[in-house]
Each structure stands twice: as C-alpha cells, then as structure tokens.
Chains A and B, each alone.
Chain A
Amino acid sequence: MVEKKTGIFGIQSNRRQILKGLAALPVMAGLPRLAQAASATSAVNTTGLAVTDDTVTVGILHSITGTMAISETGSVEAEKLAIAQINASGGVLGRQIKVVQEDGASDWPTFAEKARKLLENDKCAAVFGCWTSASRKAVLPVFEQYNGMLYYPTFYEGLEQSRNVIYTGQEATQQILAGLDWVSREKKAKTYYLLGSDYIWPRTANKIARKHIEGHLKDSKVIGEEYFPLGHTQFNSVINKIKLHKPDVIYAIIVGGSNVAFYKQLKAAGIDLSKQTLMTISVTEDEILGIGGENIAGAYACMKYFQSLDNPANKEFVAAFKKMWGENSVIGDVTQAAYLGPWLWKLTVEKAGSFDINKVIDASPGVEFKNAPEGYVRIHPNHHLWSRTLVGQARTDGQFNVIYQTPDLMEPNPFPVGYQ
C-alpha cells in the first residue's frame, strides 16, 4: 500500500506513484543506487512543496528587463547552467529540477509580488534570485512569511541575516579587509581617497574601509571621501581633485553606467592606472565589457572569484559556461556566486535527506562545496559562506591576473563589531 500523501494532489499522485513503482521495478533491481536515491515523495516532502516522484520545482527570480538586466543576466545564465548540470548528473534526491522563471523587472514591488507567486502558487522548493539589496529587502518578508528558501548571489554590505536566505556572495568585510591589508602591505600605501555611488552598499562599504584604514593599518589615513548620484556621468571635477591630492590609493565603489564614465574620464585625464594604484570592489569582468579593457587595465579589484582563476574545477566551469552561453560570454564574481546557489541547495537537500524548508535550513550550516569554481566554500551558521578573497589586476583583454589569494578562508561577519 502506498502511503497517503497530504495536499490536494493526493489521489492523483498516489496513482502515479503506483504506476511509476511498477514500471521502475525491473530497473531498480539492476540499479540499486537509483532506487536508494529516489526515496518516497511523502517522506522527503511533508509540507506540500512542488515535489513529485521525478521532479522538483525551483524558482529563478531576476530582472531580465529594466536597468538591472545588465547585471542580472549573468546570474540567470549561471543558475540555469548549474541546474542543467545537476539534472544531467541525476538531479536532487533522484528528482529532475524544473525551473519557473519570473522577471523582477528591476522594480522592487514586482520582486515581492513574483516572490509571493513563486512560493504560494508554484510551491518552489528553493528560489535563486535577487541582485540588488533593495530587491532582497523587498522579498525578505515574503520569504519569511511563506517560509521559503532564497539563495542570494551578490556581494553586499552585510548587516543582514535571515534564516530563509543563504548569501552565496561575500559580505562587505570579507571583500574589503583582505584587499586593504594587501594594498597597505604590498604598495606601502598611506593615503586613501574613497569614492562611491550614493546608496547603501558603497556608503556602508566605505565606512568599513575607513574604520579599517584608520584603526588597523599603520600610519594610514583617508584624505577624501565622496559620493555621486547613481547614473552620474561627469567625473572631471573629482578627477582634478584626486590629481591635486595625489592619494596613494583611489578606492572606488562606483556602480552601473557611472562606472564606464568614471574609468573613461580617468584615462582621458591622463591618470595612468599602472602608476596610480586604484582598488575597486565593484568592477568584475562583466563591468569591464562596458568600460573597455584598455580604459581600466592596471586597476586592482578585490573579489572572491575571477574568471582567470587557475584550478581544474574553474576551467571546467568556464568551458561549460561558454559552451552553453556562447564563446564571448564573461563570468564575473556574482555570476560564479549565482552558480553556487543550486549546487549548495542540492548538497544541503541531500545532507538533510528532505526538501522540507526547515530541514534544509537546519542542515545548511557546515555544508561544504569542495569543487566550487572559486575553490572550497562552506556555509557558516550565519548563512554566509566561508571563502577566500583574491586581489586581481585588470588586463587590457578584460580579464584579471590573480596576484594574491588569502591563505585562509575569510570568516563571514555580517555584523562586524567596531566597523559600524
């Protein structure tokens, strides 16, 4: 007798289960591994998620229209690649992943509405999505209300921790501290000029950078800190100011279209980035597509991943990504972090032996992804990832030379004491 399944699909899926079971019998005899993987749906799904005997439904929620489509396209591609690879390797608990994709349209209320749809109507077992902090903040109450699971890929300012979110990008201290330590040690930098677009991430990040420079780096000081409205396109005045102050390091956290204007005008003003040290935490290979490699060559970026990273897992990942999305595609830090989402979820579900959200949340801390493209990562009890931080130098071809890697994993610390 087949166990009774809860929920409105009870009868139907019981019948399917019987048929399926009959059909599978001879196969199962020959393949004991498969039989063990495909445990009964009623056992692995007790809360009515969209899990059948051979499929499990997940959501992808990014902007594919509107301003943010520039940035979020890469994340969607990486998540689809990861899901395709997981399906090809046998799926999750013997079930193939089905994807429901929704468009957040760069509009935060739309994100919340689509998140509700994915959780309430589609009963997604996990959602991979969001890019900006604003969109994440908009969907957070929805995920907490419906007890959903969100894998969020972007490096961000920290100051958040939710039981319903796994943050696969770095929080600010992971990204910032190692880079500043490096530049202070290797470049003997003493004076810093902080720049940023005017919203929460650059402001929080620069606050952390300032505290670190003034409190932890020897004889170092911040000689300027400035913010520009999002979409600012004229940087000549601040570039003049930088020329006069001659800081050892320009620390730039400028985002979006402003980025392109800033680096083009920097180059046009005769600032040679092979002589003037510039460190950024907001330019990945994706952004360089728009900026143009020749305009930013020589600048240092501090990330946890670069496409040029030399390890077998990354080579495989880059090859697979290009095969799926075209030879000319580039992979930035966030794209790689988005790729981690589905894999971490699969590993967590298999560790928990269940799709149930609460069991997945309980099983999350300590989950290891040993062969991630960026190297080894592990989920911290605070739902962020232990990961290494790298410093890369931009080349004219739009890629980075990895010139430094922290020897140890950096501990995620979303609420850094003494840095706020």
Chain B
Amino acid sequence: MLMGYSFSDLGSILVMQGFAGLIMFSVYLLMALGLAIIFGQMGVINMAHGEFMILGAYMTYECSRLFSAYMPGLFSLYFFVAIIVSFIVPGLLGMALEWSLIRFLYKRPLDTLLATWGISLMLQQAYRSIFGAREVGVNLPEWMMGSTHLSDSIEIPINGIIVMGMTLVITAGVYLLLFRSGWGKQVRAVMQNRAMAGAVGINTERVDRMTFGLGCGIAGVAGAAFTMIGSTSPTAGQLYIVDTFLVVAFGGAQSLTGTIASAFSISQTRSILEFFLSGSMAQVIVLLSVVIILMLRPQGLFVLKVRR
C-alpha cells in the first residue's frame, strides 16, 4: 500500500492528508449543522436543505456581481458581506416557509418530508428561472484562492482554511446560542416537552419559527462557503444532501456533539480510504459501515436521554 513512496513523501502524505481530512470534516460539519438543528430540535426532515444552501451560494454570486459592478475597490472584502446576506435571505425564507407550511405538519413527520421535498423541487425550478439553467461561476477575490506553501511538497489550500475557520466560528456560535442563552433554553425546553414548555409561558410557535430560520440561515452560510470549493447551479444542492443526512443520522439526531463526532469520523475514514483506494470504493465502504453501525445502534452515535 505504501510501496513506492519515500520517507519524506510519507511525511508530506501525512500532513496533507491530515489537512484534506480536516477540510472535509469542516465541510461536512458546516452542511450538517443547519439540518441537525432543524431535524434534531424540531423533528422536521428538511429535504430542501440543499436548496437553502444553494440559495446562499446564489446570494454570494449576486454580491460578487454587485460589488464588481458598483464597488470594485471593495471587491476583495465582499465575501464578508456575502456571508451575512447568505444568512439573512435563506433564514427569512425559512421562517416564511415555517409559517406558511411546516407548522401545519408538525404532527405528521412523514408529510413534512414530502412537503419539503416538493419545496426543494420548486426552489430548483425557481433558481433555474431566475438565475438560468447553467452553472454560474462565482468570482472570488484573489487572496482566497491558491495555497500556502509550507515546504516543497506540502501545500495547504487557503479556501480550505477559510472553510475551517467559518465552521469553527459557526459551531461555537450555535453552541453558545443553544446552551448558554435564554433563547437556547427555550428551544431545548420546547424540544423536550412541547406541552409543558407552552404551559410555563414559552411561545412555542415563535421558538419553532426562529429555530427553523436559524437552521436555514446556517445552510445558506454553508452554501456561501462552498462557492470556494464547488459548483453553483440550480441542482447543486442535491450533491450535498445525501452526505448531510448521512452525517446527521449517524451522529444521532438530537445531539450537537453527535453531529460533530459523526462528521469527524465519516470524513476521516473517507479521506483516508480515498487516498489508498479510489473515490467510488471509499464511498461504498463508508456507506456500508454506516449502515452496519446504524443496524447495531439505530439511534446513532450519541443520544439525548429524554423522558417522553
């Protein structure tokens, strides 16, 4: 397996593969966070998650066009504005969706699955009508492309570092929001016992709406980040949705720690297998192991113990 590589090669493999795995981990975590919040806290299976991500990507695209047209001087910084827009627009759309559709389906989880899948199809077609069927190329400032040179054979992609940074900030933010703020306490109360939470005076409908909006907003930010590494087209959200569900289901639906642990183990396994085998084989083996583990442990890696 390691034949034909020299010692210095092996050293670089270790470093670069380590980083490749970490980048994949950040990508997986970033795309799974929004879904984990919605699925875990509200029990809604949001099949339109990928489309909310792509909405974020399209917002980034629009920002890049606006900045290069009207404020070319500030172009190198537009990405920060894009991140904010990519959070707000999908977030608002998510809240509107929750208000107009999802809230009527809370007692029918299978119907939310169908309904959100329908929404994902509608959103795809809407993007196609608005932005065109073809892929759009998102222009990024020069400083975000390229790589940092650590040694002759070790190079670390800058966009990967940016994705890692964003993931770190957002995960920390979500943690503080859910576990260290009054609002987070309300969210967790509603999740654990809706009726009691309502009885003690928590506006459960409002909490639901904000939670759904937050999940969609984070999906949008993930989409903005992925313009650096992937494609932006009406159906690109579909590329991510399977892996996203895999991470969330494997981690255990209601646990943030679970999502992190599952994103880490899946991405590392996959990245290492991809190096020694090939992309297709890596996917097969990862899926197989996840299936087997979920057969033995249907609730996922981590479970929150709640009295029902």
A269–B239 CB distance below 8 A: no
Partner of A289, one of B16, B135, B145, B155: B135
| A192 CB → nearest B CB, Å | 16
B24, closest chain A residue (CB): A234
A237–B271 CB distance below 8 A: yes
A interface footprint on B21-52 (CB within 8 Å = 1, 0 otherwise) = 00110010000000000000000000000000
Query: Can you list 25 residue pairs at the A/B interface with Cβ under 8 Å?
Result: A65-B128, A69-B133, A70-B234, A70-B235, A73-B132, A73-B133, A73-B134, A231-B238, A234-B20, A234-B274, A236-B157, A236-B160, A237-B282, A238-B274, A256-B231, A257-B235, A257-B239, A258-B231, A258-B239, A267-B146, A286-B134, A289-B137, A290-B136, A291-B137, A292-B138
A341 and B239 alpha carbons, distance in the complex (Å):
33
Which residues of B (262-280) have their CB < 8 Å from a CB of A?
270-272, 274-275, 278-280
Given contacts A238-B274, A268-B157, contact A66 B235 (CB under 8 A): yes
Instruction: Tell me if A240 is interfacial: C-beta within 8 Å of chain B.
Output: yes
A287 and B137 alpha carbons, distance in the complex (Å):
10
Cβ–Cβ < 8 Å partners of A411 in chain B:
none
Instruction: Tell me if A60 is interfacial: C-beta within 8 Å of chain B.
Output: no
| Contact count band on B | 35 or more
Partner of A290, one of B12, B137, B282: B137
| Contact count band on A | 35 or more
A256 and B153 alpha carbons, distance in the complex (Å):
30
Name 8 extra pairs, CB < 8 A, besides A237-B271, A257-B235, A293-B137.
A227-B280, A229-B279, A237-B274, A258-B231, A264-B229, A268-B229, A270-B147, A292-B137
B227, closest chain A residue (CB): A264
Cβ–Cβ < 8 Å partners of B13 in chain A:
240, 244
Given contacts A237-B275, A261-B230, A290-B136, contact A269 B17 (CB under 8 A): no
Instruction: Tell me if A206 is interfacial: C-beta within 8 Å of chain B.
Output: no
Cβ–Cβ < 8 Å partners of A294 in chain B:
145
Where chain A touches its partner, the secondary structure class is helix
A257–B230 CB distance below 8 A: yes
A294 and B9 alpha carbons, distance in the complex (Å):
29
A287 and B136 alpha carbons, distance in the complex (Å):
10
Which residues of B (256-301) have their CB < 8 Å from a CB of A?
270-272, 274-275, 278-280, 282-283
Q: Give 10 nearest A-B pairs by CB, closest first.
A: A290-B135, A260-B231, A228-B279, A236-B20, A268-B157, A237-B274, A270-B147, A69-B133, A270-B155, A257-B231
Cβ–Cβ < 8 Å partners of A20 in chain B:
none
Instruction: Tell me if A198 is interfacial: C-beta within 8 Å of chain B.
Output: yes
A294, closest chain B residue (CB): B145
B20–A240 CB distance below 8 A: yes
Cβ–Cβ < 8 Å partners of B19 in chain A:
236
A257–B274 CB distance below 8 A: no
Given contacts A227-B280, A237-B17, A244-B13, contact A269 B155 (CB under 8 A): yes
Partner of B239, one of A69, A231, A240: A231
A193 and B240 alpha carbons, distance in the complex (Å):
27
A292 and B22 alpha carbons, distance in the complex (Å):
25
A240–B17 CB distance below 8 A: yes
B229–A70 CB distance below 8 A: no
Given contacts A233-B229, A236-B20, contact A226 B279 (CB under 8 A): yes
A240–B280 CB distance below 8 A: no
Instruction: Tell me if A67 is interfacial: C-beta within 8 Å of chain B.
Output: yes
Instruction: Tell me if A259 is interfacial: C-beta within 8 Å of chain B.
Output: yes
| A109 CB → nearest B CB, Å | 17
A224, closest chain B residue (CB): B278
Cβ–Cβ < 8 Å partners of A66 in chain B:
235
A interface footprint on B100-142 (CB within 8 Å = 1, 0 otherwise) = 0000000000000000000000000100100011111111000
Cβ–Cβ < 8 Å partners of B70 in chain A:
none
Instruction: Tell me if A4 is interfacial: C-beta within 8 Å of chain B.
Output: no
Pick the most buried of B149, B153, B236, B271: most chain A CB atoms within 10 A of its CB: B236
